[in-house]
Amino acid sequence: MITRKRSAAALCALLAALALGLPAAGPALAAAPAADDTPARSEQDAPKVDLVLDVSGSMRARDIDGGSRMAAAKQAFNEVLDATPKEVQLGIRTLGANYPGDDRKVGCKDTAQLYPVGPLDRTDAKAAVATLAPTGWTPIGPALLKAAGDLEGGNGSRRIVLISDGEDTCAPLDPCEVARDIAARGIHLTIDTLGLVPDAKTRDQLLCIAEATGGTYTSVRHTDQLTDRVGQLVDRTADPVVTPVGVKGADRCADAPELKPGLYDDREVFGEHRWYRVDVAPGEELRASVSVAADRAVNRDYGVLLRAVTEHGREIVRGSEAGDGRTDVISTGLRYPSPERDDDSGTAPDVERVCLEVSNSYSAAPSVKTTPGLPVELTVDVVDGPSNASDVAAFGLGRGWWLLGALVVTGFVAGVVWGWLSRWRVAVWRSN
């Protein structure tokens, strides 16, 4: 049983953590756009998602919670269909569901649209899922190409969720190359992959497919895990889409393009430095974040650096993050509050020119193409700053300093009182 002392300590730790988190500094906050800049749902077409399910013969295996892989997929689909947001247009495509024969040429064309992408009729979609039975081959590459076609049209978010228990059996059409081709089209389509009780080859292939488009890979061994993950991805599709603006960073600060608040995309080759410029008025706060995606095979151990410097080269603040080869996207961010103007003579500049440097430490094998560069997504926002710039500079605690101090004093006093009471109780016990 937890003692009162441990409960008090836990409560203090929780309150201290909350105090530390008050200003919410870091990449997540840096990436948040201003509320007024968030596009309205009415300005975008409906988000679309295509669930692509492997129905090959190996889905008969009974190794997920005592049932077959196919049964787990059906249960997950039914629960996800019940919870799909009404604004999402959802479709279902199969691979290996119809041809049971041995003709490889025919089997590698076996992909069909089970339920078309559009407004969801849950009853019809569930009825279609109920008819599925493990059958044939695993043509992942052809299925991805067809799924990309299923999602054509509109400016809403588009996502393919691929669920498979084995690697593609229809080479030489490499599904990784198919995913890279889809990414190169610039249509902002994300492919997420889930492996059902995957072996090493299946995991590597599904991971490669996801990385090519900035998607995610998840290994699944339980039905509820499959349901939760597919549901999360469908919900994520409903998030508003902001189309990035293309920009080309410069080799040095003096030539950097000026960026207004918004979302931008660029390309950066391995080990490159790119510069951008943002004007910040006195009393305003610059918030910036950058994400770099590994859309091809890269060596392990890499990093991304985002620096804010003055136009004269003095570093103001920086953010950095590192990866180890298992992360498809790596992000970091920073915040910089420009000091209030205190020059009454009028000679102080109206704005401060801040240069943002984005650099990476990616590397790859000699056989890997370095062009085009890695996808870079840069978010810039300028908001009204805190009344005192030191509120942010002080270890990120902001106005939480007073609460942290109060917690420290309270903890000290509580410790002294507790110790005095304990000694008094021991003295009373001994006297009796």
**Closest to 307 in 3D by CA, of 269, 246, 341, 355:** 355
* Cross-strand partners of 52: 93, 162
Neighbouring C-beta atoms of residue 264, cutoff 10 Å: 20
Give the single-character DSSP code of 38: S
* Cross-strand partners of 266: 376
Domains of the chain: 45-237 (3.40.50.410), 251-393 (2.60.120.380)
pLDDT at 432: 63
**What is d(CA 230, CA 92) in angstroms, rounded to the nearest whole number?**
13
DSSP symbols for 120-133: --HHHHHHHHHT--
Contacts of 84 (CB under 8 A, 6+ apart): 90, 120, 122, 234
pLDDT at 384: 79
Neighbouring C-beta atoms of residue 395, cutoff 10 Å: 12
* Long-range contacts, stretch 120-123, CB < 8 angstroms, 24+ apart: 120/81, 120/84, 120/86, 120/88, 120/89, 120/90, 122/81, 122/82, 122/84
To which H or E segment does residue 175 belong?
Answer: helix 175-184
**Closest to 358 in 3D by CA, of 385, 337, 334:** 334
Phi, psi of 383 (to 5 degrees): -130, 170
Tens digit of pLDDT per residue, the chain (432 long)? Answer: 333 333 344 434 433 333 334 333 333 333 333 334 433 334 568 899 999 999 999 999 999 999 999 999 999 999 999 999 999 999 999 999 999 999 999 999 999 999 999 999 999 999 999 999 999 999 999 999 999 999 998 888 899 999 999 999 987 889 999 998 888 776 778 999 999 998 999 999 998 898 888 788 899 999 999 999 999 999 988 876 667 889 999 999 999 999 999 989 999 999 999 999 999 999 888 999 998 888 788 888 899 999 999 988 999 999 998 877 655 678 888 989 888 766 555 555 678 999 999 999 999 889 888 888 888 999 999 887 654 444 433 333 344 445 556 666 777 777 777 777 777 776 666 666
Q: CA angle 291-297-301, nearest 5°?
A: 65
Q: 420, exposed or middle or buried, with CB in 10 Å at 0-12, 13-18, 19+?
A: exposed
**Closest to 83 in 3D by CA, of 198, 208, 236:** 236
**What is d(CA 139, CA 111) in angstroms, rounded to the nearest whole number?**
7
pLDDT at 155: 81
Is beta strand 189-196 parallel, antiparallel or unpaired with respect to 315-323?
Answer: unpaired
**What is d(CA 10, CA 306) in angstroms, rounded to the nearest whole number?**
36
pLDDT at 14: 39
**Closest to 53 in 3D by CA, of 76, 24, 20, 21:** 76
Contact between 306 and 321 under an 8 Å Cβ cutoff? The reply is no
**What is d(CA 391, CA 404) in angstroms, rounded to the nearest whole number?**
14
Q: Six-digit token pair at 332?
A: 């970091």
**What is d(CA 132, CA 218) in angstroms, rounded to the nearest whole number?**
23
Q: Mapping DSSP to helix (H, G, I), strand (E, B) and coil, where does residue 275 land?
A: strand
**What is d(CA 47, CA 40) in angstroms, rounded to the nearest whole number?**
13
- Strands across the sheet containing 217-220: 111-118, 89-95, 48-54, 158-164, 189-196, 217-220
User: pTM of the predicted model, to two decimals?
Assistant: 0.53
To which H or E segment does residue 243 belong?
Answer: none
Q: What is the pLDDT of residues 350-408, one digit of tens each?
A: 789 999 999 999 998 898 888 888 889 999 998 876 544 444 333 333 444 455 566 66
Give the single-character DSSP code of 67: B
**Closest to 212 in 3D by CA, of 156, 166, 147, 160:** 160
**What is d(CA 380, CA 375) in angstroms, rounded to the nearest whole number?**
17
